[in-house]
Structure 1
Amino acid sequence: MSQPPIDGENADNLEEIEMQFAVKAVQQAETYWSLLEKVPGSKLKLTKHDDQIFEQLLEDFPEFKEKSKAEVIDENEIKSPQGKTKWREFCEKFKDIEDYNFGTLLRLKASDEYGQDTTMFAVRIQFYAIEIARNKYGLNDWICKSEQSN
């Protein structure tokens, strides 16, 4: 006897599943930070699609042509009804990238480390888009430099 498919829109949020997602998001953040400690962000490639993701970001969100827009992320702007719609449309263009819509942690400021008050929950393709921009603008290079001076 097979189980009926789970309706994701109406399924209960099971604490155990939420915890597993949170653990995976933290592990991904730790791995990324570890990488940035060893390699300057400006020399890092996150995916084989980096250039395509960056170009699409600039096309859909021209404000990211300004380095300062990648520097500080406004969570309220991203999560506003208009922001959600724009980002959803952007994200759907990358359905072919594995786990493109998987939840992950995104630092609100390029100048901050990961922390409870310095991050927001985002989907992976948002993380890629913003972190690729930060890396291209050299905004994450300080992490490697500060690690090397320790």
Structure 2
Amino acid sequence: MATAQKFDPNTAQNLVEIEKQFAVKAVEHAQTYWNLLEKVPPRDLKLSKLDDEIYEHTMTAFPEFSEAPHEKLVKLDEEWLKSADGKKRWREFIQPYENRVKDYNFGSLIRTDARLEYGETNTIFVMRMQFYAIEIARNRLGLNDGAHEIAKADAEKEKAKKEKSKNAKKGGKS
């Protein structure tokens, strides 16, 4: 009978299939969130049962986010997020949610600029709790209102395109 070895994430090899699965989940999460932004005014959007607590904690732990006009929330500083100080502060922020928020440490894609949609140059990978903290704050402060309008306009364009395609197919049949 084989003995189970303790898993050490520091020495584990990156398995391509696992990385692909994480990437697929992160993209699905981003698409779902963008679809929500299209359908629900951001100030009315609830991302978790703990939104109020997460928002208050975010504003306390990161007072720089609460400073109007909220530029540090509008445009995220990736270098700061990944700096030693940024990582330490986020680790301390995330820890209380370990047993309270499902998938709290899963990877998520977030828009670096709240005024723009998801895209190759406007997206970074963060932990799910960072996503919640930032996006709940963006929603509450009205910083995602523009994204809501972009998402609605994109959906209208897509709907019109499908309608045009459907009508073209009908017109081509006798």
TM-score in terms of structure 2 length: 0.81
Match of 2:16 in 1: 15
CA RMSD, Structure 1 to Structure 2 (Å): 1.4
Q: Are 1:105 and 1:122, in contact at CA under 8 Å, matched by a contact in 2?
A: yes
Q: Percent identity?
A: 51
Q: Which runs of no fewer than 5 residues in structure 2 stay unpaired? A: 157-174
Query: Aligned with 1:29: secondary structure?
Result: helix
Query: Aligned with 1:73: secondary structure?
Result: coil
Match of 1:59 in 2: 60
Match of 2:77 in 1: 74
Match of 2:43 in 1: 42
Match of 2:90 in 1: 87
**Paired residues, what number?**
150
Cα distance in 2, alignment partners of residues 83 and 143 from structure 1: 26
Q: Post-superposition, which runs of at least 4 consecutive aligned residues in structure 1 deviate over 3 A?
A: 146-150
CA 1:22–1:148: 2 relative to 1, 3 Å: closer
Match of 1:107 in 2: 111
Q: Which amino acid aligns with 1:78?
A: L
Cα distance in 2, alignment partners of residues 45 and 91 from structure 1: 19
Query: Aligned with 1:93: secondary structure?
Result: helix
Q: Encode CA deviations 1:45-103: one digit per residue, 9 max, x unaligned.
A: 10010111111111111111122221110000110111111111111121121111101
Cα distance in 1, alignment partners of residues 149 and 83 from structure 2: 35
Larger Rg: 2
Q: Are 2:35 and 2:151, in contact at CA under 8 Å, matched by a contact in 1?
A: no
Q: Are 1:42 and 1:136, in contact at CA under 8 Å, matched by a contact in 2?
A: yes
Q: Are 1:40 and 1:143, in contact at CA under 8 Å, matched by a contact in 2?
A: no
Query: Aligned with 2:97: secondary structure?
Result: coil
